[in-house]
Chain A
């Protein structure tokens, strides 16, 4: 207990003083007081800043899932330790949540009594004029020729025009010459702003925490002319909020009609800089006709309660594989995922049925192929001029598609497969220009590169909260500005014994109070016709 006493405190007969025993309620009250104190709030704030740091040092599952996987592959030992601490989901861990929840409880515990106090203050009259103004900020005392009543009336109206709430008080002293004074207070808005700011923070937390649970985010690769329908099975991947239900999906259709990428050549480096991506799409809401729209990077398409964002794009060659009799056993568009800025892309074709054994193709797509000296290719630009090239390795064996386990359509596990063409195989890798057909090794059949389509990858996002979040953000900013920059102050003008006294009192940070009092005195004296001092 001694530590809590002021340093100038002198203990007297300590044994006589018995601390009241705290019952359970007493302890609760004690902890509540500790929690809602400014010092605790400050420590929690600093702890929150500190706790957020690991979230930037370690990849997060939410923002960088690939980074997490790479981390695990690179250093499984460290991964296990960090994962146990929850560092890959820092912002959802119990310890991070504990800090911000305690902070917000502390905040609520602070805001509620302050709100009540502020309501009372709003209805209260400015306080009585202190008997002695000399010790207050900006004290000025000057002689006046004006009548005390007139002077105080003038001061009152002057203060009212400056936005003060005023109250006149008659003589406070005794024996001395009677004094007349006006007490004025302004800047209630400062506290209002402060309370709005803190309440809006709570609103923001609720919006993000609860409102966000009703949303979902899905990813999908959409190939030109192959419509997507907004149903759960239509997504390649989807993250659902806690309170998501499938009925939230409105089954609209979305079709990519055309995609254009515009590029500019940087003459000094030979690199192509993208300047614009534009996807022209057709959409159809249930029971309506197709309408056209566009999606750009900074301009999503809004449809059926969702926003559709353009994330990536690439080429999808149309590939047909035939058996030796010429019967098509695979035919479709195959999105090749871009590897670099010139859209050199990698793709996989899997043909599980129809041929003598299961066959897979893995290879590259070059929109603007350029042969290198070592026989490989690169892409000179990201634009297709009708000369695009597909090169493929061919594998045969069990593709692992029959085990009922989900398999990534864009990747091929070549373990246990026989390589028939390319690499160390006898036959060279297949090379197909658009429109070409080549025979497969071992008389398996043939493959044709029929045509070329574009694809886009999109994020489809439903979130009921942005409107609310924006509202609270505006309240946060507005409340903050008001609470930081509106001064709250009290000012008094007193007429006593042929002199006028002026003084002020700051309530909170108020570096301009002294100047404000001096300015008031100057204006007031000008009104009264007193000479400049």
Chain B
């Protein structure tokens, strides 16, 4: 029974990855199309770039020409988003099957953790569309998820095994789930910050090649949206840290011991604390705080890949030998 369900779960994982990959390709086609459409528009009105270049060197910055074209959802983008939602449903099904097969939360080893965390990243991406249209991040999100999910399936797959005694605690559910949720928000925030940096370059007239960005929100708007998402992630991460400390106190007899995973959780927390402060510091708003958001998300990814695999420590639950 357990084996059968786990096998179905794995089939669903493969299917989800395949559909995500198709969605990724279509998202990329969408971006390419935007670039070429914008190019022909630029050819039609050759004065625009020249004027911008002229402004850049002399005059005080006028409101940059952002979102002048309607951010219309192209057919490619609609198709890609529907595919992403479809892949996500299959993905969630895979995670649920794995949970039923194991009879416990589906994040007790690195393979399961990656599957659930990527499902949560896509979940945050899909649900956040209700609040703001961020479908232009589709290629970024599906790209990351295809990469992580296929690496985990190819390299870290382990059969369903019972929960080892150290993980038998309600905190496994709370601490890890909230950490993955925070990761989801940081992932979208990091993506927005990357686009923000590119957009800022384009607005400054330094990146004429990034024409596909013309239909995206301006860098300031992107910064505001990224900030909203990242502070949610930061609050969740703070909770993760505290919940982890409470669990460590129950399981290991100390609430803080500078275990490698604790060190990285702390580093990530401090970087995002820096991000929150940067937003209130003159000279650090804009691109510098965007860099901090990207470094922070990079540290999250580092923590959950390199630290899990190569650093010794108490959080050694990858399930790999």
Contacts and interface: CB of A to CB of B under 8 A. Distances in A.
Interface of A: 38-39, 41-42, 45-46, 48-49, 52-53, 55-57, 59-60, 62-64, 67, 90-91, 208, 217, 264, 266, 268-269, 273-277, 296-300, 307, 309, 459, 461, 463, 466, 469-470, 473-474, 476-477, 480-481, 484-485, 508-509, 511
A60 B263 CA distance: 11
B281 A296 contact: no
Contact of A217 (B161, B254, B260, B292): B254
Interface string B130-165: 000000000000000000000000000001011111
B163 A275 contact: yes
Contacts of B100: none
B235 A480 contact: yes
B209 interface: no
B252 A511 contact: no
Contacts of B14: none
12 contacts: A39-B281, A42-B281, A45-B273, A49-B271, A53-B263, A55-B258, A62-B257, A63-B257, A208-B256, A461-B253, A485-B235, A509-B227
B246 interface: yes
Given A42-B277, A298-B169, A53 B267 contact: yes
Interface string B272-288: 01101111111110000
Contact of B224 (A56, A298, A508, A511): A511
A476 B256 CA distance: 16
B251 A297 contact: yes
B257 A300 contact: no
A481 B238 CA distance: 10
Contacts of A64: 312-313
Contact of B258 (A63, A297, A461): A63
List the 10 closest pairs (A to B, CB-CB), nearest first.
Answer: A297-B165, A461-B253, A56-B263, A49-B270, A298-B169, A45-B274, A309-B253, A56-B260, A473-B242, A38-B281
A91 B258 contact: yes
A461 B254 contact: yes
A473 B245 contact: yes
B255 interface: yes
Given A62-B257, A64-B312, A299 B267 contact: no
A276 B273 CA distance: 39
Given A46-B274, A307-B253, A509-B227, 6 more contacts: A42-B284, A45-B274, A63-B257, A298-B250, A480-B235, A481-B235
Contacts of B260: 56, 63
Contact of A48 (B270, B279, B280): B270
Contacts of B273: 45
Given A49-B271, A473-B245, A300 B253 contact: yes
Contacts of A48: 270
A64 B125 CA distance: 39
B107 to A, nearest CB: 17
Chain B interface bracket (under 10, 10 to 19, 20 to 34, 35 or more)? 35 or more
A273 B161 contact: yes
Nearest to A277: B165
Given A55-B263, A67-B312, A469 B159 contact: no
Contacts of A42: 274, 277-278, 281, 284
B234 interface: yes
Contact of B161 (A57, A266, A300, A511): A266
A273 B158 CA distance: 13
A296 B169 CA distance: 11
Nearest to B256: A208
Nearest to A298: B169
B7 interface: no
Contacts of A300: 250, 253
Given A48-B270, A473-B242, A477-B238, A41 B312 contact: no
Contacts of B311: 56-57
B246 A511 contact: no
B166 interface: yes
A91 B250 CA distance: 23
B168 A297 contact: yes
B224 to A, nearest CB: 6
Nearest to A461: B253
B241 to A, nearest CB: 9
B259 interface: yes
Most A CB atoms within 10 A — which of B224, B254, B284, B313? B254
B264 interface: yes
B96 interface: no
B76 interface: no
Given A49-B267, A266-B159, A480-B235, A63 B274 contact: no
B266 interface: yes
A297 to B, nearest CB: 4
Interface in B215-246: 224, 227-228, 231, 234-235, 238-239, 242, 245-246
A208 B168 CA distance: 27
Given A56-B260, A268-B159, A476 B270 contact: no
B255 A466 contact: yes
Contact of A298 (B166, B231, B235, B278): B166
B208 interface: no
A484 B234 contact: yes
B128 interface: no
Given A60-B258, A266-B159, A473-B245, A459 B165 contact: no
Contacts of B276: 484
A469 B255 contact: yes
A64 to B, nearest CB: 6
A38 B254 CA distance: 33
Nearest to A66: B312
Contacts of A269: 159
Contacts of B249: 466
